[in-house]
Amino acid sequence: MSSKTFLKPKYIATVISIFGLVVFGFYSNEARKEVYFLCGNYGAGDSLESVVKQLNTVNLSEYKVENVEQGKRITHSSKLNFHRVSCSIQFTHEDKVVSVSYD
């Protein structure tokens, strides 16, 4: 193959696409790890304030706080994983962790 073969738009587009997929895969995996490891930091009795303080440090993921019948619930996930990997943290009315589940 000559050097002109690699300069064809078809090859350039292929290389850029592969590079883009590799970069996306890397960041997607980092976001998954961020959700997984932060989820492991919480246990029964932890305060809502402490959990939110830790979640405010995230870079590749996001969280939302919802009021539910039992108290509050935080759902932590990432757009980079299409929200398929998530952590759900349930709180009492006194804002203490009751349960944590990683899905």
59: which residues sit within 8 A by CB, 6+ positions away? 34
- Ranges in the chain, pLDDT < 50: none
Domain encompassing residue 76 = 5-102
Query: Could you tell me the pTM of the whole model?
Result: 0.82
pLDDT of residue 10: 86
pLDDT of residue 9: 85
| Helix, strand, coil % in the chain, rounded to nearest 5 | 45, 25, 30
Q: How many domains, in total, are found in the chain? A: 1
